[in-house]
Structure formats: structure tokens, C-alpha cells
Structure 1
Amino acid sequence: MTHTTRTTHEVIDRYNAAFRLHDPTLLEDLISDECVIEDTGPAPEGARHDGGRACLARWSQLAGSTDLEFSPEPADILGDLAVAPWILRWGTGEDDCVRGVNLIRVRDGRIVEARGYVKSS
């Protein structure tokens, strides 16, 4: 049986589905052991998460939260890099949301790096 590596587009689709569906199990084999996340907060640098376990724990916490509504927008795929914009909502008020973008690098069908940025007032 031949092993097929996921494309960057396939990885991003599954990553987004994990957050939209609140199903962190979809993330389990998408994250490389060498993964590094630079989170959107706290400002100005954001928290850094090193290693596959730390990255999976962070994203699983967010993806599993039914208090959050994640709405991905179409991503631009540039080889191994995805520029993936999104909207995150945590309530029903006009100000209960933020727009952001993740820069996600994929290698051998797994996420190796993600940097998150948000718009601020």
C-alpha cells in the first residue's frame, strides 16, 4: 500500500473543519512533532507553543470550545504556505468578534509552523 501525503489545501481544509465542527480529533495527525505556534495573544508578541504535543493541546482547547464560533474564509495556498483568514466570534454582540489570519506552513502533509495575527482597534 502506498502512503499518500496530504496537500497543503487538504491539510487546511481539515484544520478548518476541526474548528468549525468543534472536533479536535481531526487535528491529531495534522501536526508535526516539530510544530511551532505563535499565538495571536497576548500582545504584542503572542504566546509561543513548541512541539507537536503543545500545539495539539492548544488547538484542541480552542477547537473543542463550543463557546467560540470559527468562520474560515477562503485561504490562499502558495506551495507549502497557506494564508488563511478567519473570523472568531464568542458572543452575540457586535463587538464579540475578531478578524484574523493564520500563516500556516505545511511539510510532508503536516503543519510545522503557524503564526496568528488579528486586527485591532
Structure 2
Amino acid sequence: MQTNETAEIMRRFNQAFRDHEPAILKDLIAPDCVMESIQPAPNGTRYEGYDACLVFWEALAKDPVAHFDVEDTITMGDRAIIRWRFNFGDGESVRGVNLMHVRHGRIIEALGYSKIPGQSAPLPE
């Protein structure tokens, strides 16, 4: 797959959330898509198959209060990294990334990872 095709799929994927247009997602998800959300910490939730991924993403895209700010999208062949900030509630947000994989013009894998506010690992000495 060409990087340009992957970039266009990621553009449309991000647009669905930015514009609160869940219908955009219907043509972007592969039948065998696997998605891992960031909640609950530490390992998130795994969703398998078109219907499960679509239901999860549609709910996010429909939410009139919460929204994503895409900070950067990097594409490399059939893979992409989306760096984002998810805004929710009363000015609260969390930053994270999605590691995306596309095959035959559809998303087959979307793994979400986020920073956990207020927690940090000890630095090595």
C-alpha cells in the first residue's frame, strides 16, 4: 500500500471525530479489524470485528462534548501513527497515540495508548 492511500484513510478517520460525523467510519473499517482502547488502564479493552469497532468509534464520534485534537499524523506504507489529545468533561484532556495498520484500503488494526495523568514511573539511576 502506498503512503498516500494510508494518509487519505487516516485523514478521513480523523475527520469523523473532528466533525462528529460517524457515517464516515463505515467504509474505513475492515471486517477483521482489531482495536484496543485506552480504558480501563492499564491494558484497555480489545474489540474484534467490524461491528464491535464501528460501535465503539461511532459512540466517540457522536459525543457532542468530547473531541479529539489531532496533533500529528505520520504515515509509512500501510502503517500510521496518530498523535492526539482527547478533550472531555470540564476542560480535562488526555494525550495519546494510535498505532494504525491498513490493508486493502481499510483499517485492520488500531492500538490506542495514552499518558496517565498524575502517574509517572521512577527514572533509572
Q: SS of the residue aligned with 2:75?
A: strand
The runs of at least 4 consecutive aligned structure 1 residues that moved more than 4 Å come to none
Aligned to 2:59: 61
**Once the 2 structures are TM-superposed, how far is the Cα of residue 92 of structure 1 from its aligned partner?**
3.9
Q: Could you report, residue by residue, the CA deviation over 1:56-86 in whole angstroms, capped at 9, with x for unpaired residues?
A: 0000000110110211122111111101000
**Once the 2 structures are TM-superposed, how far is the Cα of residue 44 of structure 1 from its aligned partner?**
1.4
How far, CA to CA, are the matches of 2:57 and 2:89 in structure 1?
Answer: 20
Q: SS of the residue aligned with 2:72?
A: coil
Aligned to 1:100: 96
How far, CA to CA, are the matches of 2:71 and 2:12 in structure 1?
Answer: 14
Aligned to 2:40: 42
Letter in 2 for 1:97: S
Aligned to 1:3: none
Letter in 1 for 2:112: G
The structure that has the greater radius of gyration is 2
Letter in 1 for 2:97: V
How far, CA to CA, are the matches of 2:7 and 2:49 in structure 1?
Answer: 22
Unpaired runs of at least 5, structure 1 = 1-5
Aligned to 1:117: 113
Task: Using structure 2 for the length normalisation, give the TM-score.
Answer: 0.87
Aligned to 1:90: 88
How far, CA to CA, are the matches of 1:69 and 1:19 in structure 2?
Answer: 7
RMSD: 1.1
**Once the 2 structures are TM-superposed, how far is the Cα of residue 91 of structure 1 from its aligned partner?**
3.2
How far, CA to CA, are the matches of 1:30 and 1:73 in structure 2?
Answer: 21
Unpaired runs of at least 5, structure 2 = 119-125
- Kindly indicate which of the two structures has a greater share of residues assigned to helix: 2
Aligned to 1:27: 25
- Report % sequence identity: 46
How far, CA to CA, are the matches of 1:99 and 1:49 in structure 2?
Answer: 21
Aligned to 1:78: 76
